[in-house]
Structure 1
């Protein structure tokens, strides 16, 4: 007898898509390590160019290129996307530079503390109330940063900049009424003139990656799909998975980055790092617990509201 094909539920498909996105992001240090010999600003320019080509192709196939124009058709929308472009360019550039400079451990720390930075931004900007567990998580993360600053005699500026730049980027995206693919296409389109200036300058100075060999050029070309694919997967997951589950899946990204740094790149991991990361992991456990508690409370409230509407006891 032939076995019936297994049909996955939308929730399962969403979780798998989220895992796929975070796996690509988490292993991307190995990809960008292949470009350590290319200046980070030039890698960023190529990433911008080929991302635009890829995203533009996707939207063209879907017949949605006109939506990019609509996303830029007012001064407010243009200014919003311009600031988003600045934040994502800062994040991309610093990540590329950190990997090439052998500081992937710090970049992974940035993405570990990102959820807690998002909580703080939500509190400051939207006045969102924080539970005791969330306050405890924020306090532990703050303590970890202070300990690293004292122990290494320098603030972990890479981690903090990565976390806050992406946190602000997420804040801007929350205010946009366009889809992620359309908005990112608009963002890289706004960055394109700067990217072209960088590439033309590199070509004029004789140090362009266009002449660095087929392997380097091939990796740069693939940076477009490597940027686009996880974003598409993640947006697919976000529409099908509860935020609690999606938030936990996102921890896979910094965990894989951390593994690349310590086990693949053999970056130094001092006692101060061990203490700080330990505090961050405890903070994330508290944060996850608070997410589960909020999710349960929201579901109970939803059930109670449904019962109240139907009059069922």
Structure 2
């Protein structure tokens, strides 16, 4: 790894997660558009932005190859359905004043990923990982009893993104992030366009001035740009550093929810977040210790 790569890896990774962490500040600017309309625009303009960037980077061949491979296309179709659900629930959470529920979902996500490894991939977990899952389950129980209902937004975000990651892992070595996102948006675009046509005059694209229209168009850049930054960072940084950076986005979302939107934090919610944070500390420490014990490539 060159010094140039070392120098740029961390800023690129931080930039990606700053984008993702700051998204709760962006989506309210798109009102009065609703969550479904915003997601539909996000799909359409993301596809256009991806195609422009793929053309500029001369990566269209990989995109077309994925579209022409039935197995890969089928996998990306499932991924598209999961990420559209994730986007829809996330935008709804932000617009309905539930940013903290969204942040909790992405804090829970690493725990869900470990759990899916057991349920789907039949992985054997270490005792520390089981303990972390226990703290995660305890968090959901505390929040459900203390706040009078299951934290469905958090769980939906955590499981939809966890399953999305699991599906993408099946093709991650053969299709890069940007061509993959382009394929996913191609699959979803007909449905998005059909919804926008159905909205017609009741939609907000043309009725609230050019500034609002430009903001809706910019959802394509807001969606794809952090992915580009993350892809560049992931090639330059050790996996352990990338794993640590993933907590930056929900931390920022949590701070936005508390400090900017002043969402209520009763004792039960503090307790739920605390239990999740304990679980994440356990997973992080265990991951770091395992990576240090792993033999280095090329050494006997």
Which has the larger Rg?
A: 1
Q: Who is 1:14 aligned against?
A: 9
The answer on 1:56 being equivalent to 2:51 is yes
After superposition, where does 1:134-283 map in structure 2 within 5 Å? 134-176=129-171, 177-203=174-200, 205-283=201-279
SS at match of 2:296: helix
In the aligned structure 2, how far is the partner of 1:80 from the partner of 1:64? 20
Q: Who is 1:132 aligned against?
A: 127
In the aligned structure 1, how far is the partner of 2:119 from the partner of 2:237? 27
In the TM superposition, residue 127 of structure 1 has moved relative to its aligned partner by: 2.6
The answer on 1:302 being equivalent to 2:292 is no
In the aligned structure 1, how far is the partner of 2:70 from the partner of 2:60? 19
In the TM superposition, residue 277 of structure 1 has moved relative to its aligned partner by: 0.5
Contact 1:36 1:101 (C-alpha < 8 Å) held by counterparts: no
TM-score normalised to structure 1 length: 0.91
Contact 2:100 2:263 (C-alpha < 8 Å) held by counterparts: yes
In the TM superposition, residue 224 of structure 1 has moved relative to its aligned partner by: 0.9
Aligned residues: 297
Deviations 1:205-239 (A, max 9, x none): 43332222222212111111111111011111112
Contact 1:18 1:246 (C-alpha < 8 Å) held by counterparts: yes
Deviations 1:54-73 (A, max 9, x none): 10001111222232221121
Change (3 A) 1:101 1:242: same
Q: Who is 2:96 aligned against?
A: 101
Contact 1:42 1:199 (C-alpha < 8 Å) held by counterparts: yes
Q: Structure 2: any 5+ residue segments left out of the alignment?
A: none
Q: Let me know the Cα RMSD of the aligned residues.
A: 1.5
Contact 1:104 1:261 (C-alpha < 8 Å) held by counterparts: yes
The answer on 1:87 being equivalent to 2:82 is yes
In the aligned structure 2, how far is the partner of 1:178 from the partner of 1:225? 21
In the aligned structure 1, how far is the partner of 2:138 from the partner of 2:220? 38
Contact 1:112 1:254 (C-alpha < 8 Å) held by counterparts: yes
In the aligned structure 2, how far is the partner of 1:160 from the partner of 1:238? 27
Q: Who is 2:39 aligned against?
A: 44
Contact 2:9 2:233 (C-alpha < 8 Å) held by counterparts: yes
In the aligned structure 2, how far is the partner of 1:216 from the partner of 1:258? 27
Contact 1:46 1:221 (C-alpha < 8 Å) held by counterparts: yes
In the TM superposition, residue 196 of structure 1 has moved relative to its aligned partner by: 0.6
Q: Structure 1: any 5+ residue segments left out of the alignment?
A: 1-6, 308-313
In the TM superposition, residue 9 of structure 1 has moved relative to its aligned partner by: 4.2
TM-score normalised to structure 2 length: 0.95
Deviations 1:144-182 (A, max 9, x none): 001101111210010111011111111111111200100
In the aligned structure 1, how far is the partner of 2:258 from the partner of 2:58? 44
Contact 2:135 2:276 (C-alpha < 8 Å) held by counterparts: yes
